[in-house]
Amino acid sequence: MAVVEIHQKGHSHEHDVHHDDHGHDHDHKESFITKYIFSIDHKMISKQYLLTGMFWAIIGGFFSIVFRLQLGFPEVELTWLKPLLGHWINDTGKIDPTFYLSLVTMHGTIMVFFVLTAGLSGTFSNFLIPLQIGARDMASGFLNMLSYWFFFLSGTIMFASLLVETGPASGGWTVYPPLSALPQAIPGSGLGMTLWLVSMAFFIVSTLLGGINYITTIINLRTKGMSFAKLPLTVWSFLFTAIIGLLSFPVLFSAVLLLFFDRSFGTSFYLSDIYIQGEALSNMGGSPILFQHLFWFLGHPEVYIVILPAFGIVSEIIATNSRKPIFGYRAMIGSLLVITVLSFVVWAHHMFVTGMNPFLGSIFMFLTLIIAIPSAVKSFNYITTLWRGNIIFTPAMLFCIGFVSVFISGGLTGIVMGNSAVDIQLHDTYFIVAHFHLVMGSASFFGMVAGIYHWYPKMFGRMMNDKLGYIHFWVSFIGVYLVFFPLHYIGIAGFPRRYYSFTGFDAFQSYTDLNMFVSAAAIITFGVQFLFLFNFFYSMFRGRVAPANPWRSNTLEWSTPINPGHGNWPGEIPTVYRWPYDYSKPGAAEDYIPQYIPYSETPTSNLPHEIDDVEKEDEDLDVNEKK
């Protein structure tokens, strides 16, 4: 029977994980609905986010494969897709050009918001925050449940938009007006666009409810001894992510609401001097540039909403599997803080081609280059943590190393595009696509998958298959570079993004073979994700039963039972005495010391400044004994 010992000087407390002396386990009889559907347990809600995010990842990935088939093999008939896509495959066996725009739009929307925002933050913020800070649950279980179901409702509406006769939204994932504001403009600006806007409104509500909960929980529900200086970097990253979301998503809500008014109630927030088929519309006084400002005030912080949770996950996994303390713990927190602040003052670098005043453009260019510094600090600290470590190459560790690689590769091109003179030439080419798919898309995806491999034993009580994990990593890692690295060259050559076909342009004929190569690599990379899905679901039922602490990690979640109930710890919650990165400490009996082990239990490895902590432990013990 598994036992967790929480040691204190002079005596120890042993908590049988199957016994609840204090009644905190909350394992009363629950119905199927209250346990698996309308659950208020943060662990179950995190699994709901994860499974929903995986569903949307399949949909979004499939859309990308369909339009890559069109780009790489424009002469090939796709009639075999007609059972899935219906009348969007025309009589010649080709994708309808209008639907091609919808595929691009929905792919971006799904991957950015439903997978890399809700799927990543919703899963790991919910799962890890209470477990790593020593809390029974989130500050509000009911609010947490509402957050997921608003996300589910948002996804249901977005899925419904795929089924309407005129097709889903087709204005790009940024849905710029006036195209998105005029239902009569193209079929994809009709009912599908209205459903897109309604879906995003519910998604924003979900994100705000979750963010409020995460921030409140971290500030108020930390266990005894868990000061901010002892928080794992995962929790720090989730905190800053929630703050960014709380401040930026309401701006997107206002943009969506005003666009809805323009479409449905005849207002002119974004419309002025519009002619359709020679007929002048009555809208006057609006500006589509206003929408761009509102959208990108969320749009660029959104990049960090997506990447910051991956930063935290990678920090934890690299330190654990390098068997070394994370290098520059305070610098890592400081870089997260600087990124959070600067993320709100760089949005207009997406708008260099809108006629912006060159002086104002130079300010945003300067701020854009400045924000590269804290990102470089994080990359440097990852590499320094890996340097001369006793590295254990688990699948999670490989994906973290892959994360560092693609983040640096994609980040370097970000510095190039931060220069307004260069960006004006590269704007809306495949160079942009290559950049953000590496630095944001692939890096965040690698961080998310690493987190699944690493915390899978705690989520489901079983181990995933390592060999399948290694295959998954190497094919994904090589595939990502084979897909997105060539797109830089295509972009420099002037390939515009979102074009249905390039066969009519003589200047681009020389890149036909390269487009075929990229499409083939994309198909293989997408295909190997089904190996991961098999590993995920097979291991859930047939995987090897996980030990209590399979990675010999220091954070509190590994002190819970293998399958913790609602309340996480039976009996008392452990007291925290040390920071979470005491790995390979000289003089220690083992190469890790969990956070709940007092300094008085490790006299041979204590550093000089930690002797004061032993004296404080003695004073606390005397006070408790008097009580």
Token pair of 156, please? 């249901």
Neighbour tally for 9: CB within 10 Å = 15
Q: What is the pLDDT of residues 398-451, one digit of tens each?
A: 999 999 999 999 999 999 999 999 999 999 999 999 999 999 999 999 999 999
Residue percentage of the chain with pLDDT more than 90: 80
> DSSP assignment of 312-340, as one string?
HHHHHHHHHHHTSPPTTHHHHHHHHHHHH
Q: What is the mean pLDDT of residues 198-221?
A: 97
Q: 110 pLDDT exceeds 80? A: yes
Q: 197 pLDDT exceeds 90? A: yes
Residue percentage of the chain with pLDDT more than 70: 93
pLDDT band at 609 (very low <50, low <70, confident <90, very high): confident
DSSP state, 590?
Answer: S
User: What angle do the packed helices 233-264 and 288-322 form, to 10 degrees?
Assistant: 160
Q: 507 pLDDT exceeds 90? A: no
Q: Are 430 and 495 in contact (CB under 8 A)?
A: yes
Rounded CA-CA distance 415/408 in Å is 11
pLDDT band at 188 (very low <50, low <70, confident <90, very high): very high
Q: 466 pLDDT exceeds 90? A: yes
DSSP state, 8?
Answer: E
Residue 594: the pLDDT is 95
At the top level of CATH, the class of 41-272+280-542 is: mainly alpha
DSSP state, 165?
Answer: T
**Which residues have C-beta within 8 Å of that of residue 526, sequence separation ≥ 6?**
61, 62, 64, 65
pLDDT band at 18 (very low <50, low <70, confident <90, very high): very low
Rounded CA-CA distance 44/484 in Å is 35
Higher pLDDT, 70 or 20: 70
From first CA to last CA, the distance across the chain in angstroms is 32
Q: What is the pLDDT of residues 256-292, one digit of tens each?
A: 999 999 999 989 999 999 988 888 888 899 999 999 9
pLDDT band at 21 (very low <50, low <70, confident <90, very high): very low
User: Domain coordinates of the chain in residue numbers?
Assistant: 41-272+280-542
* Dihedral sign from CA coordinates of 472, 475, 477, 480: negative
Rounded CA-CA distance 614/544 in Å is 40
Poorest-pLDDT segment among 253-257, 330-334, 505-509, 575-579: 505-509
The per-residue pLDDT of the chain, averaged, comes to: 91
Q: 5 pLDDT exceeds 60? A: no
pLDDT band at 92 (very low <50, low <70, confident <90, very high): confident
Neighbour tally for 86: CB within 10 Å = 11
What predicted TM-score, i.e. pTM, was given to this entire model?
A: 0.92
Q: 16 pLDDT exceeds 80? A: no
DSSP state, 462?
Answer: B
Neighbour tally for 545: CB within 10 Å = 9
Higher pLDDT, 90 or 523: 523
Q: 10 pLDDT exceeds 50? A: no
Residue 620: the pLDDT is 61
Q: What is the pLDDT of residues 438-464, one digit of tens each?
A: 999 999 999 999 999 999 999 999 999
Burial of 32 (0-12, 13-18, 19+ CB in 10 A): exposed
Burial of 401 (0-12, 13-18, 19+ CB in 10 A): buried
pLDDT band at 510 (very low <50, low <70, confident <90, very high): confident
Of 627, 592, 582, 598, give the one whose Cα is nearest residue 5.
Answer: 598
pLDDT band at 522 (very low <50, low <70, confident <90, very high): very high
Q: What is the pLDDT of residues 148-182, one digit of tens each?
A: 999 999 999 999 999 999 999 999 999 999 999 99
Q: Are 24 and 569 in contact (CB under 8 A)?
A: yes
Neighbour tally for 251: CB within 10 Å = 20
Rounded CA-CA distance 89/92 in Å is 8
Q: What are residue 4's DSSP bridge partners?
A: 15
Residue 624: the pLDDT is 58
Rounded CA-CA distance 75/71 in Å is 9
Rounded CA-CA distance 67/242 in Å is 33
Residue 277: the pLDDT is 81
pLDDT band at 14 (very low <50, low <70, confident <90, very high): very low
CB-based contacts of 259-263 (< 8 A; 24+ apart in sequence): 259/175, 259/177, 259/180, 259/181, 259/197, 259/291, 260/194, 260/197, 260/198, 260/201, 262/177, 262/181, 262/286, 263/180, 263/181, 263/182, 263/183, 263/193, 263/194, 263/197
Q: What is the mean pLDDT of residues 84-100?
A: 90
Query: Which ranges constitute the DSSP H helices of 323-429?
Result: 329-342, 358-370, 372-386, 395-418, 420-426
Question: Three-state SS string across 484-508, please?
Answer: HHHHHHHHHCCCECCCCCCCCCHHH
- The backbone torsions φ and ψ at residue 74, rounded to the nearest 5 degrees and listed phi first, read -65, -20
What letters, b where the CB count within 10 A reaches 16 and e where it falls short, cover 367-376? bbeebbebbe
